[in-house]
Amino acid sequence: MTFKTIIEPFRIKVVEPIRHTTPAERAAALEAAGYNLFMVKAEDVLIDLLTDSGTGAMSSRQIAGMMLGDESYAGATSFYKFEAAVRDITGFRHVIPTHQGRAAERILFSSVLEPDEIVPNNTHFDTTRANIEKQRAIAHDLPIPEGIQPALIHPFKGDMDLTALETMLKENGSRVRLVMLTVTNNTGGGQPVSMENIRAVSRLCHAHDKPFFLDACRFAENSWFIKQREAGYADKTPLEIAREMFSYADGCTMSARKTAWRTSAVFWRSTAIAGRRSAKTR
């Protein structure tokens, strides 16, 4: 019998000690926090499943990159490197780096949303919903029926319900400010979205003259799922797939502490959205 083992293709460069708490200490910490996980001190947490943002070890190249970082107040070389990478992958022209994805969402939605306007999504992430509702607008989820059946096997449970989206655009088009698609669908269980669905959502949005944005925090993983599961993409690289995904969108927000970059940003192709807002409020 041949024994095979799979190991990680990397070595950890930095380690950080964590404190082993007792069951009694954990119970006391939860009670003191009112059973609100956001109020529990990090030092009392042994295994953190609350988020995947910035919880992984950094590579030697990432650490070296920090040492090479330019902290200039303006015109920093670090920004231009980041901007070039973003433009190369997404094709978007305008790049605004932020400290977190929720800050990127706040910039976008505070710039374009009016009260009672609607933002459809396959499923809104919690901070996305909060930033929309802070503008007194409506965050509306349109997952496919298969996406809300945990026991069902389906290759792309993160897809948006196209029939429901088309109905909303026809019946409430004047109130739909923009349409957003989260890839992967984190609140929906981290499920991937197919290229076919991304393309169809884009087509519907543009047919109704609505901007189409991606919440792209897991674009790299979504590209990999497309490569593995969707017909016609097995021979394409994840980078080629990512570029196609972004080509269908007018812009995106991104919490990049989860994947390719250790920052966050809002990107868009042109000033059309800002222009529409200006025209509307004059």
State the DSSP string of the chain.
Answer: --------SS------------HHHHHHHHHHTTT-GGGS-GGG-SS--S--TT-SPPPHHHHHHHHT----SSS-HHHHHHHHHHHHHH--SEEEEESSHHHHHHHHHHHH--TT-EEEESS--HHHHHHHHHTT-EEEE-B-GGGG-TT---TTTT-B-HHHHHHHHHHHTTTB--EEEESSBTTTTSB---HHHHHHHHHHHHHTT--EEEE-TTHHHHHHHHHHHSTT-TTS-HHHHHHHHHHT-SEEEEEGGGSS-SSEEEEESSSHHHHHHHHHH-
- The percentage of the chain sitting over the pLDDT mark of 90, rounded to a whole number, equals 56
State the CATH class of domain 76-281: alpha beta
Segments making up each domain of the chain, as ranges: 76-281
- Report the predicted TM-score, pTM, of the whole model to 2 decimal places: 0.81
Task: Determine the average pLDDT of the residues in 144-172.
Answer: 95
Residue 11 has pLDDT above 50, yes or no: yes
> What pLDDT score was predicted for residue 255?
83
Tens digit of each residue's pLDDT (9 = 90 or more) over 217-237: 889 999 999 999 999 999 999
Q: Of residues 49 and 159, which shows the higher confidence score?
A: 159
Tens digit of each residue's pLDDT (9 = 90 or more) over 165-220: 999 999 998 999 999 999 988 888 889 999 999 999 999 999 999 999 999 988 99
